[in-house]
């Protein structure tokens, strides 16, 4: 005869007496069980054609559960051992499979919906960012370097102000602020280097050639995420990324002399622009690494977006200050004239004084650009946090043809609207097909073997 012990507790109403093992005055009673029906979540389990003898005793907390014979080690609270099977496990497995699988599918759908919504918001803000940058340069056409520095140093003030409020609201914790600062330092350095090399190459290259070279940004992100994040991409994802890049090139470069401009500018400046996009791709992959590492260091928690934005922007501003002599020269402003240049740029931005002539639209248009650009950066970082660097890059890439179309509309201050490039429709179709191929998930038929029936 094999015997088994079932633990019985008094639940939340247990008293101190119930926590002590009660000695039995009589020997354990032995009885036979010919069939066991256990109904949990609609699952009925029976022992078919079996007659086993069970010994039931009361145990207090801290006591061990003993069983005799071949079923030793298979008995635990809320389970019975029958032969080679444990009924509690069977109930949990059979009855819970559908609930767990359904919960996983529901969670996956919710996550995909969140990514789609975040990507759509990023695209809208990205298009607004491109359009408003063009509009902001109308009053500040002689002071583009001032606008760049206004955005860089203004973000530090705004981000840390928001971080301060979120900290006092309890959203940002001390554990988040105590994370290592070295990754944020690297983020600031990469962003400053990307800005410096991009400005240097952008001063030589034509406007039509830069969007073509910018497609290397997506290539760099895929390569860096494979190397540093160990990510693996399916064939349809790689094909989708390739088609997206081709679609942007067709959309922007059709009807332009981009190829001739690249040849005239020389190989060095083209390579320098590609290096600039390498720094930007490394920056986004590093931010994704920060989020992944923070989830481990915070024991499943997540670092707040404004912690990353605030410290990253602060270190970027620091390195921009170090590179100011070099950057001002790239913009055609000698370093010794930089204070007067910034003073005149501030007067034009505020639209006051004698220097405000020709600054129509300020400060409204520059302020709108700064606000939308800040929202775009926050949305982009949020998208990167919940998805990946490649998905955020695809969202930015999708902004390009929409922005091209927006400039064909009669926007204020721009004068005569531009015309669509000849290959715009074809390029847009290729781009959309690439996005659909990237997002397509091949269906995988999962076969689950049913557990063997108990003997």
Residues 147, 192, single domain; the answer is: yes
* Last-in-domain residue among 27, 50, 83: 83
Per-residue pLDDT, averaged over 83-89, amounts to: 47
Is residue 61 included in any domain, yes or no? yes
Residues 67, 193, single domain; the answer is: no
What is d(CA 435, CA 406) in angstroms, rounded to the nearest whole number? Answer: 21
Residue 31 DSSP SS3: strand
Is residue 448 included in any domain, yes or no? no
pTM (predicted TM-score): 0.72
Residues 67, 205, single domain; the answer is: no
Residues 28, 152, single domain; the answer is: no
| Percent above pLDDT 90 for the chain | 44
Residues 145, 277, single domain; the answer is: yes
Residues 131, 243, single domain; the answer is: yes
Is residue 338 included in any domain, yes or no? yes
More confident residue, 73 or 236: 236
Per-residue pLDDT, averaged over 379-399, amounts to: 92
Q: What are phi and psi of 86, to 5 degrees?
A: -115, 120
Question: Is pLDDT at 76 greater than 50 in this prediction?
Answer: no
Q: What is the DSSP string of 303-332?
A: --HHHHHHHHHHHHHHHHHHTHHHHHHHTT
Residues 277, 330, single domain; the answer is: yes
Residues 203, 282, single domain; the answer is: yes
Nearest of 268, 271, 275 to residue 193 by alpha carbon: 275
* Last-in-domain residue among 21, 52, 83: 83
What is d(CA 290, CA 220) in angstroms, rounded to the nearest whole number? Answer: 18
Confidence of residue 356 (pLDDT cuts 50, 70, 90): low
What domain range is 24 assigned to?
11-83
Is residue 50 included in any domain, yes or no? yes
Confidence of residue 260 (pLDDT cuts 50, 70, 90): low
More confident residue, 241 or 251: 241
Per-residue pLDDT, averaged over 280-306, amounts to: 92
**Residue 99: its pLDDT value, please?**
55
Is residue 388 included in any domain, yes or no? yes
The tokens for 111 are 């996550």
Measured CA to CA in angstroms, residue 380 lies from 377, 391, 406 at distances of 5, 10, 21
Residues 64, 151, single domain; the answer is: no
CB burial of 164-199 (b: ≥16 within 10 Å; e: otherwise) equals eebbeeeebeeebeebeeebbbbbbbbbbbbbbbbb
Is residue 1 included in any domain, yes or no? no
Residues 117, 211, single domain; the answer is: yes
Is residue 267 included in any domain, yes or no? yes
Residue 87 DSSP SS3: helix
Q: Which residues, including other chains, have CB under 8 Å from residue 75's CB and lie 6 or more apart?
A: 4, 5, 6, 65, 67, 81, 86
DSSP 8-state symbol, 162: H
DSSP 8-state symbol, 388: -
More confident residue, 19 or 377: 377
* 43-57, 99-113, 142-156, 398-412: range with lowest mean pLDDT: 43-57
Residues 75, 104, single domain; the answer is: no
**Number of other residues whose CB lies within 10 A of the CB of residue 88:** 19
**Residue 373: its pLDDT value, please?**
95
What is d(CA 127, CA 155) in angstroms, rounded to the nearest whole number? Answer: 20
Q: Find tokens 């955020």 and name the residue.
A: 392
What is d(CA 245, CA 218) in angstroms, rounded to the nearest whole number? Answer: 8
Residues 188, 318, single domain; the answer is: yes
Question: What total number of domains does the chain contain?
Answer: 2
- Burial class (CB within 10 angstroms; exposed 0-12, middle 13-18, buried 19+) of 421: buried
| Contact between residue 275 and residue 268 where contact means Cβ atoms under 8 Å apart | no
Is residue 455 included in any domain, yes or no? no
| Contact between residue 215 and residue 248 where contact means Cβ atoms under 8 Å apart | yes
Confidence of residue 150 (pLDDT cuts 50, 70, 90): very high
Nearest of 281, 272, 133, 130 to residue 204 by alpha carbon: 272
**Number of other residues whose CB lies within 10 A of the CB of residue 360:** 12
């Amino acid at each position: 005869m094999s015997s088994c012990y079932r633990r019985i507790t008094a639940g939340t109403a247990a008293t101190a007496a119930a926590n002590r093992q009660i000695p039995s005055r009589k020997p354990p009673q032995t009885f036979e069980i010919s069939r066991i029906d256990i109904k949990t979540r609609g699952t009925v389990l029976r022992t078919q054609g079996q007659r086993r003898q069970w010994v039931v005793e009361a145990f207090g907390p801290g006591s061990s559960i003993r069983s005799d014979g071949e079923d030793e080690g298979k008995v635990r609270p809320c389970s019975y051992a029958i032969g080679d099977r444990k009924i509690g496990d069977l109930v949990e497995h059979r009855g819970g499979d559908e609930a767990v699988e359904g919960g996983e599918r529901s969670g996956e759908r919710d996550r995909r919906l969140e990514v789609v919504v975040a990507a759509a918001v990023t695209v809208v803000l990205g298009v607004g960012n491109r359009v408003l940058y063009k509009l902001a340069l109308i009053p500040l056409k002689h002071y583009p370097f001032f606008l760049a520095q206004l955005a860089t140093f203004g973000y530090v003030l705004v981000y840390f102000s928001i971080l301060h409020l979120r900290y006092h609201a309890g959203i940002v914790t001390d554990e988040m602020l105590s994370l290592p600062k070295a990754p944020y330092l690297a983020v600031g350095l990469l962003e400053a280097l990307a800005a410096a090399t991009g400005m240097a190459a952008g001063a030589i290259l034509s406007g039509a050639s830069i969007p073509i070279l910018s497609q290397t940004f997506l290539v760099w992100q895929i390569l860096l995420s494979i190397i540093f994040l160990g990510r693996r991409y399916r064939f349809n994802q790689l094909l989708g990324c390739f088609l997206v890049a081709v679609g942007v090139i067709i959309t922007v470069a059709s009807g332009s002399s981009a190829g001739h401009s690249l040849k005239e500018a020389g190989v060095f400046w083209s390579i320098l622009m590609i290096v600039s996009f390498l720094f930007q791709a490394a920056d986004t992959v590093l931010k994704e690494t920060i989020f992944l590492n923070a989830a481990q260091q915070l024991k499943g928690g997540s670092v707040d977006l404004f912690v990353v934005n605030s410290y990253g922007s602060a270190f970027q501003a620091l390195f921009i200050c170090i590179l100011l002599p070099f950057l001002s020269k790239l913009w055609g402003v000698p370093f010794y004239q930089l204070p007067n240049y910034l003073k005149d740029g501030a007067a034009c931005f505020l639209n006051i004084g004698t220097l405000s002539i020709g600054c129509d639209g300020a400060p409204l248009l520059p302020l709108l650009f700064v606000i939308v650009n800040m929202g775009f950066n926050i949305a982009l970082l949020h998208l990167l946090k919940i998805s990946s660097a490649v998905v955020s890059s695809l969202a930015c890439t999708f902004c390009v043809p929409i922005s091209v179309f927006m400039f064909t509309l009669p926007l204020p201050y721009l004068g005569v609207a531009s015309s669509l490039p000849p290959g715009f429709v074809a390029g847009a179709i290729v781009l959309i097909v690439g996005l659909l191929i990237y997002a397509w998930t091949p269906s995988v038929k999962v076969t689950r073997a049913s557990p063997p029936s108990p003997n």
